[in-house]
Amino acid sequence: MNTTKKGFSDTVRRVVFGRSQAELLAEIDTIVPDRAAVSEEHVERARGVERLVTGTATSDGAGVKLTRVLTDDLQQRLDPFLMLDAFRSDNPGDYIGGFPDHPHRGFETVTYMIAGRLRHRDSAGNEGLLENGGVQWMTAGRGVIHSEMPEQEGGLMEGFQLWLNLPARDKMCAPGYRDLKSEDIPAFRTAAGAAVKLVAGRSHGVEGAMTREATAPLYADIALPAGAQFAQALPSQHNAFVYVYRGEVTVGGKRVAAGRMAILDNAADADGVRIAADSAPARVLLIAGKPLHEPIVQHGPFVMNTVDEIRQAVEDFRAGKFRAT
């Protein structure tokens, strides 16, 4: 996604976040069977909320309407994460155009589908169908051209795309692709009743589906019954945020409503985060990672470390070097 440097700012339609309590409780039951966490997380001092961010309604690809939550002005603050888009609509006009062929270089895309069907094809010969609860993790590396196109003519399409930076040493690695079905992603319930799908990282003694040594990402989808709490240990140096997409939660003493991102502080004496649902069920993404502390230079779908590297990426793309030979 993000086939252009900036989204189209004239789009005014926003993602709809409403859910009844019954629907949210039903979602929790579908996320994970009654599998208990291996262990509990111990958090002595929880992080606070440094800032609340409201996503911006925009469009991308062939007119797909979405909410850009993590924008380029937050890339240094939330290093190693570069972008987070949220999309949700049951109006096919909002998503049917999809994301036709477009290039990437220098980072990874992590697409998590809550509902709907999206077909991925790329210039490295990879293809996969992203469906309910599934994840596609693509490493652009030295360059890839891919498309993400709906395989449905109507109904709900909902999900997220996260951009994860690559360290300078890996930006020109070979492209890669992992297609993870919902059943391939570890899931568990905590003693407090939270249902967790763990795309990446480690939580409550459970290892996620993916890992990356350089950035040590944690990517957890957490569904909380009314009044339930969730605790997660985090190194204080890691950058982290919570994105609420159902209901309302309290993080670090601050209420965070659906459609808002809470950037967590990096207090030196903090050892984790606590998230609590209020009087209704809630669902959130908890995302954290080890910063790379490297220069970030972005031009549209290319993210490198220097302007010269960006120029080279543009030249290579125009010369057809992103396509398989």
- Provide the CATH number for the domain around residue 214: 2.60.120.10
Bind-site residues for Fe cation: 102, 104, 146, 148
Is residue 69 domain-resident? Answer: yes
Is residue 280 domain-resident? Answer: yes
With a pLDDT cut of 90, the percent of the chain lying above it is 86
Mean pLDDT for the chain? 91
Tokens of 164: 């994860």
Is residue 37 domain-resident? Answer: yes
Is residue 111 domain-resident? Answer: yes
Bind-site residues: 102, 104, 146, 148
Instruction: Please say whether the beta carbons of 262 and 49 come within 8 A.
Output: yes
Domain residue limits at 198: 21-293
User: SS3 letters for 260-295?
Assistant: EEEEECCCCCCCEEEEEECCCCEEEEEEEECCCCCC
Is residue 311 domain-resident? Answer: no
Can you tell me the mean pLDDT for 38-46?
90
Can you tell me the mean pLDDT for 146-167?
97
pLDDT tens per residue across span 167-208:
999 999 999 999 999 999 999 999 888 999 999 999 999 999
Instruction: Count the domains in the chain.
Output: 1
Quote the CA–CA distance of 187 and 198 in Å, as a whole number.
Answer: 6
pLDDT tens per residue across span 272-306:
999 999 999 999 999 999 999 999 999 999 999 99
Quote the CA–CA distance of 118 and 196 in Å, as a whole number.
Answer: 23
- Would you state the pLDDT for residue 245? 97
